[in-house]
């Protein structure tokens, strides 16, 4: 049964604008391991080490490790491969791009105590930095062999309790975005002749497919954009044994997804729907961190990252096409091609991202190398959707979905460095991110939604394998890294938990091969 019937939606006043889901919130709550080449080559295991521009975003106390001022810039080149396995068919596609990952200025100010041999605050350091937190850029193509489950089954189920009168579009006079409970997904499927009403104004619907008819689906997704962070940080060095730091961060989201889902029907004809979703927003958070070095060769770190409070605007529109459905519908005699598009809809809302905790340790081995480890806890169950005024009432069900269908994920990072000589260092690392979504998670679309994209991805795991090297002189340095990221997800066309139509997911593996380079000056 549908979790909320249309009538209840109208009574509660859930307007068409409130159409975000937990997957929209998670999309902007999850960050990548991105940073300087030294940071990247050790899989980001820098929480207890510090002394690196990207380490500051994980633990601001690492800024206190600096003895000199520093300016650095980091760029990367990405070669991406995406493979899909869907109902016995394998697909592969690739993408290439370049970008800027980090730009930072560190200003180190030794105090009078550092020159006089006193204990206490030995230096007071500041940094101004830009960091890329997430790179959305991706291209996916997947196709499946013939299966019984069709999105037209979902359309007919989703349209239950709506009549043909509700769904008839009259150009120029009917705007569901101004209505209380009429979803565009139902309008498109009705106007595209993909669903049939069992009797006039009965509110009961069937797919146009024949009993036992199969479909051959395909899915194409192009994602672009990222999450960028601008930070102002301070850290102090107390007696070369305790370091404390704080950061104020401003984050900006720029995300666009264009997806096309298509089906070729076994008895003839086809359909496709193209969805375009654009999300832009800004937010603010703060970080607190500390590093303690009880002895010269050992350091322990801890940091807490407040939730980011985002103000977000999402725009969406879609176009549905149906082709060669000759005599497939009782509502028509002949149709070669039919296309209908939605107006552009938008909604302003807020997102509260998870609280994050970092614990870390590092061991320095006789000035010849080091080993570092870090544990990151993300409280994804604490993610929240709110309206633009900060109220959660209209997102009660979505926030409950977040509680029920996400995991409080953890990330483990391990990295090491070996100094070949005073100038050259070799590095390697590994990181693993546990599943963010539960395997039973589904995407619920509220009956009043203006969105027409019921597809969703479940996160299984992410692995990072990294290596690199660096060259250092007293006043400058250059570092290189190679990062191999493997993202494992399952793609679902729609929520089949109630239909039980036999929908099969596609396993999508996104492999990023990044070459990262950092150049820096010390002064």
Task: Specify the DSSP class assigned to residue 149.
Answer: -
The answer to whether 101 touches 135, Cβ cutoff 8 Å, is no
pLDDT per residue as tens digits for the range 324-333:
776 565 555 4
Does the global pTM surpass 0.75? Answer: yes
The answer to whether 303 touches 286, Cβ cutoff 8 Å, is no
What does pLDDT average to over the chain? 90
**Where are the chain's structural domains?**
6-522
> How many angstroms separate the CA atoms of 441 and 445, rounded?
13
Confidence of residue 6 (pLDDT cuts 50, 70, 90): very low
* Weakest mean pLDDT among 175-179, 317-321, 350-354: 175-179
> How many angstroms separate the CA atoms of 367 and 372, rounded?
14
pLDDT per residue as tens digits for the range 57-79:
999 999 999 999 999 999 999 99
Structure tokens at 460: 């299984």
* Weakest mean pLDDT among 53-62, 117-126, 330-339: 330-339
Nearest to 136 by CA among 25, 61, 226: 226
Task: Specify the DSSP class assigned to residue 147.
Answer: B
**The predicted structure's pLDDT at residue 318:** 94
Mean pLDDT along residues 241-265? 97
The CATH number of 6-522, from 1.10.3720.10, 2.40.160.60, 3.30.565.10, 3.40.50.2300, is 2.40.160.60
Mean pLDDT along residues 229-245? 96
Mean pLDDT along residues 509-521? 97
- pLDDT > 70: what percent of the chain? 92
**The predicted structure's pLDDT at residue 4:** 35
* Weakest mean pLDDT among 77-91, 199-213, 214-228, 269-283: 199-213
pLDDT per residue as tens digits for the range 400-446:
999 999 999 999 999 999 999 999 999 999 999 999 999 999 999 98
- Residue 184 sits at the vertex; the CA angle it makes with 181 and 190, to the nearest 5 degrees, is 110
**The predicted structure's pLDDT at residue 211:** 86
Q: Is the pLDDT of residue 14 over 50?
A: no
């Amino acid at each position: 049964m549908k979790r909320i019937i249309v009538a209840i939606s109208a009574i509660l006043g859930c307007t068409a604008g409130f159409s975000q889901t937990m997957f929209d919130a998670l999309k902007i709550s999850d960050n990548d391991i991105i940073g300087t080449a030294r940071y990247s080559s050790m899989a980001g295991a820098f929480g207890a080490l510090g002394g690196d521009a990207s380490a500051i975003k994980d633990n601001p106390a690492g800024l206190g490790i600096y003895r000199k001022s520093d300016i650095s810039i980091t760029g990367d080149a990405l070669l991406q491969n995406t493979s899909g396995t869907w109902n016995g068919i394998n697909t592969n596609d690739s993408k290439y791009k370049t970008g800027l990952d980090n730009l930072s200025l560190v200003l180190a100010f030794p105090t009078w105590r550092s020159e006089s041999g006193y204990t206490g605050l030995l230096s007071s350091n500041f940094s101004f930095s830009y960091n890329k937190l997430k790179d959305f850029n991706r291209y996916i193509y997947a196709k499946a062999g013939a299966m019984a489950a069709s999105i037209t089954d979902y359309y007919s189920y989703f349209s239950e309790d709506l009549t043909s009168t509700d769904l008839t579009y009259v150009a120029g006079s009917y705007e569901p975005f101004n209505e209380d409970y009429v979803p565009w997904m139902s309008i498109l499927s009705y106007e595209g002749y993909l669903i049939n009403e069992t009797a006039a104004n009965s509110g009961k619907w069937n797919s146009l497919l024949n009993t036992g008819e199969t479909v051959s689906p395909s899915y194409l997704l192009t994602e672009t954009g990222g999450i960028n962070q601008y930070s102002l940080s301070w850290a102090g060095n107390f007696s070369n044994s305790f370091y404390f730091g704080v950061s104020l961060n401003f984050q900006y989201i720029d995300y666009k997804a264009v997806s096309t889902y298509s089906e070729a029907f076994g008895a003839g004809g086809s359909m496709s729907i193209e969805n375009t979703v654009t999300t832009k927003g800004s937010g603010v958070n703060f970080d607190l961190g500390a590093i303690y070095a009880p002895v010269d060769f050992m350091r322990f770190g801890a940091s807490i990252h407040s939730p980011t409070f985002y103000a977000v605007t999402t725009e969406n529109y879609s176009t549905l096409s149906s082709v060669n459905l000759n005599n497939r519908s009782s509502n028509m005699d002949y149709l070669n091609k039919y296309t209908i598009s939605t107006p552009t809809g938008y909604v302003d809302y807020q997102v509260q991202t998870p609280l994050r905790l970092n614990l870390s340790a590092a061991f320095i081995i006789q000035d010849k190398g080091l080993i570092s480890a870090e544990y990151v806890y993300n409280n994804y169950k604490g993610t929240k959707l709110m309206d633009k005024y900060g109220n959660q009432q209209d997102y009660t069900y979505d926030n409950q979905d977040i509680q029920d269908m996400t995991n409080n994920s953890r990330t483990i990072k391990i990295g090491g460095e070996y100094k070949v000589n005073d100038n050259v260092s070799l590095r390697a690392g590994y990181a693993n991110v546990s599943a963010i979504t539960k395997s039973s998670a589904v995407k619920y679309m509220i009956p009043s939604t203006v969105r027409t994209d019921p597809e969703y991805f479940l996160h299984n795991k992410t692995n990072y394998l990294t290596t690199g090297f660096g060259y250092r002189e007293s006043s400058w340095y250059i570092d290189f890294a190679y990062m191999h990221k493997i993202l494992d997800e399952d793609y679902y066309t729609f929520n089949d938990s109630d239909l039980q139509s036999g929908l099969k997911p596609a396993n999508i593996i996104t492999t990023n091969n990044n070459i990262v380079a950092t150049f820096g000056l010390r002064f």
